[in-house]
Amino acid sequence: MGLVSAKEMLNKAVAGGYAVGHFNINNLEWTKAILQTAQELQSPVILGVSEGAAKYMCGYTTVASMVKAMLEELNITVPVALHLDHGTYEGAKKAIAAGFSSIQYDGGHAPIEENLQKTAEFVKICEEKGLSLEAEVGSIGGEEDGVIGAGELADPVQCKTIADLGITMLAAGIGNIHGKYPANWQGLNFEVLSQIHNACSGKPLVLHGGTGIPADMVKKAISLGVAKVNVNTECQLAFAAATRKYIEEGKDEQGKGYDPRKLLAPGFQAIKDTVKEKMELFGSIGKA
């Protein structure tokens, strides 16, 4: 199966009371680890690509070509969406042209009028091409590709206005932030989440900054309409810790331990383990 839009998998998730994981990719190992885990566990999956990561991987066309080829050569049969994470107006157009199957146009930092107008433009484009579209209201706290926001709460009225444009899913701040959570974090605001869920008539909601949110809070958020959970930092931390351990144990200096296929293997496995743990938590296993 080639790339698919995230629309069907997310609408199914809302109906089934579970969420699909969005895992950011950074290179071939990351992509292979996530795809293989999804296939082994028969889970739908969303591969997220930030603009910074796309640039790092030589551009949208390189990323789309690699992912499409991997689906074929790894015999991946579960639904896979290739999604632009926090896309700018220009970046979203480029990702669409390169063959991404899902787009986030993040107008959360722009004035609401501009966000609405540009989101509406992408609704039209994505409908024509059969792509899924994620919109964002308000900014999600923390740092993502150098953009810093501060744990905001979205306005449910604005959420409804943007949801009614015909988007597929909506990212709205409910106290979540990107990166590691500070010790004095207040937790997710379920009252605001419920208001947004009701205002948007059950449209799939997206929880950004999935790393470090306690499991019970994630489950409660899913029960209140969150159908897509973005995970990035957690895979990075797991990869770094496993790679550090390998080198600190001196394994790169034993035999051919310097071979990148050996050197990167513990980190690869750590990503797989993290993805599996998240899919268990989100309830997406066996839902392909």
How many residues are given for the chain?
288
Tell me whether residue 174 or residue 242 sits nearer to Zn ion (CB atom): 174
Written as one letter, the residue type at 162 is I
Q: Is 111 exposed, middle or buried (0-12, 13-18, 19+ CB in 10 A)?
A: exposed
- CA dist 222 and 6 (Å) reads 17
Q: Report which of 187, 191, 154 is spatially closest to residue 170, judged by C-alpha positions.
A: 154
Tell me whether residue 233 or residue 243 sits nearer to Zn ion (CB atom): 233
Q: Do 191 and 160 form a contact (C-beta atoms < 8 A)?
A: no
Q: How far is the CB of 69 from Zn ion (least distance, A)?
A: 27
- Active-site residue identified among 85, 155, 164, 259: 85
Rg (CA), the chain: 18
Tell me whether residue 208 or residue 287 sits nearer to Zn ion (CB atom): 208
Q: How far is the CB of 266 from Zn ion (least distance, A)?
A: 27
- Residue matched to tokens 């990212």: 171
Please state the φ and ψ torsions of residue 266, each to the nearest 5 degrees. Answer: -65, -40
Q: Report which of 106, 48, 43, 108 is spatially closest to residue 77, judged by C-alpha positions.
A: 43
For Zn ion (CB under 5 A), the number of binding residues is 1
Closest residue to bound Zn ion by CB? 208
Q: How far is the CB of 28 from Zn ion (least distance, A)?
A: 23
- DSSP letter (8 states) at residue 159: H
Q: How far is the CB of 104 from Zn ion (least distance, A)?
A: 8
Q: How far is the CB of 212 from Zn ion (least distance, A)?
A: 14
Q: Do 10 and 132 form a contact (C-beta atoms < 8 A)?
A: yes
Told to judge if 155 belongs to the known catalytic residues of this protein, a careful annotator would answer: no
In the region spanning residues 258 to 277, those forming contacts with Zn ion, defined by CB under 5 A, are none
Q: How far is the CB of 34 from Zn ion (least distance, A)?
A: 17
Q: What residue spans of the chain are helical by DSSP H? A: 7-16, 28-41, 51-56, 60-73, 89-98, 112-129, 156-163, 190-199, 215-223, 233-248, 260-263, 265-282
- CA dist 51 and 259 (Å) reads 30
Is residue 7 near Zn ion by the rule CB under 5 A? no
In the region spanning residues 179 to 218, those forming contacts with Zn ion, defined by CB under 5 A, are 208
| Binding interface with Zn ion (CB under 5 A) | 208
- Residues marked active site are found at 85
